[in-house]
Amino acid sequence: MSILEVQNLTKKFGGITANQDVSMTVEKNSITAVIGPNGAGKTTFFNMITGVYQPTTGMILLENEKLIGLKPHEVSKKGIARTFQNIRLFSEMSVLENVLVGMHTHIKAGLVGILFNLPAIRKEEKASEVKAYQLLEYVGLAPLLNEKACNLSYGAQRRLEIARALAAKPKVLLLDEPAAGMNPKETNELTQLIKRIRHEYNLTVILIEHDMKLVMEISEHIVVLDHGEKIAEGKPEDIRNNPKVIEAYLGTGAVQAG
């Protein structure tokens, strides 16, 4: 069963076409990778799914519901969460607070209740802190909960971004180059973490990644973009041997030579 449908998505910035006619279907509970050389339009593609950019033409459906025209906070409320290529934590806030911001939409407290500090609100505050703590435990950051986000190590910041995204209880999780800048050991831990959250949170994962070892190991479906267009899609073993993909990565002539 498909959860996310992308149909003929095109995005133009003035005269530059960042995405041209990209379509894809994402199966529920699957892991899909979007790969391609630098500048292929992968992040633009993510930005359209999350509502940061409105596509010039095309359609995006989450569980058959249109996402076009929605603001980013509305899209994220529908169940799409993401992490960023260059980490974008709330660096002056604590680790715990970062996760609590992720829970924003699930904390019911209205302004009137806050004003009078009703007992029910306090109880809810406690409950959300407990939930946030559990998420931090899950990604292995619980001991650092009161640390400022900017003081975390690089790998820890990446895991905090994942915890913050999970806090919104998404249906679809978008990971933008989660392994960028990680050493092989950290990448390996990340691979395990992504596999685990997919099962335990019943998630659909879409990731942009350059680390081919990670991509091949983790994904069930791969979409390849080049110059804004989809040039191939399929199972990892098909993509590995696809001449068009090899050409996009290594240049013309590489196929014959290899």
Partner 1 sequence: MLNEILQTIPQVVIDGLTLGAVYAVIALGYTMVYGILELINFAHGEIFMSGAFIGTAILIVLTGMGWVSAVPAIVMLITVLVLTAVLTGLLGMGIERVAYRPLRNAPRLIPLITAIGISFLLQDIVRFIAELQKGNYIVTGPNLFKDQISIKASSISAIFNDASIKTSFVIVLVTAVIMMIGLDIFVNRTKWGMAMRAVAQDRETASLMTVNVNKVISITFFIGSALGGATGVLFAVQYGTIDPYIGFILGLKAFTAAVLGGIGNIRGAMLGGLLLGLLEMFASANLTLLSGGVFGAEYKDVFAFAILIIVLLFKPEGLLGKPVTEKV
Residues that bind partner 1 (CB under 8 A): 50, 52, 71-73, 76-77, 81-82, 84, 86, 88, 90-93, 97, 100-102, 104-105, 107, 109, 111, 114, 117, 125, 164, 168
Smaller CB separation from partner 1, 172 or 239? 172
The end-to-end CA distance of the chain, in Å, is 38
Among residues 89 and 179, whose Cβ is nearest to partner 1?
Answer: 89
Q: DSSP secondary-structure letter at 253?
A: T
Least distance (Å) from partner 1 to the CB of residue 111? 7
HSE toward the beta carbon, residue 197, CA cutoff 13 A: 28
51 CB neighbour count, 10 Å cutoff? 20
State the residue for tokens 């095109």: 10
Closer CB to partner 1, residue 8 or residue 117? 117
Query: Cα torsion at 52, 83, 105, 146 (round to 10°)?
Result: -140
Q: Rounded to an integer, what distance in angstroms lies between the CA atom of residue 154 and that of residue 177?
A: 13
- Quick one: 13 or 184, whose CB is closer to partner 1? 13
DSSP three-state, residue 173: strand
Cβ proximity of 68 and 74 under 8 Å: no
Nearest distance from residue 114's CB to partner 1, in Å?
5
Task: Give min distance, CB of 187 to partner 1, in A.
Answer: 23
CB of 110 to partner 1, least distance (A): 9
Strands (E), the chain: 2-13, 16-27, 31-35, 57-62, 65-66, 80-82, 172-176, 204-208, 221-226, 229-234
**Nearer to partner 1 (CB atom), residue 175 or residue 215:** 175
CB of 172 to partner 1, least distance (A): 13
CB 107 → partner 1: shortest distance, Å?
A: 4
Nearer to partner 1 by Cβ, of 52 and 255: the residue is 52
Residue 34's nearest CA partner among 165, 215, 251 is 215
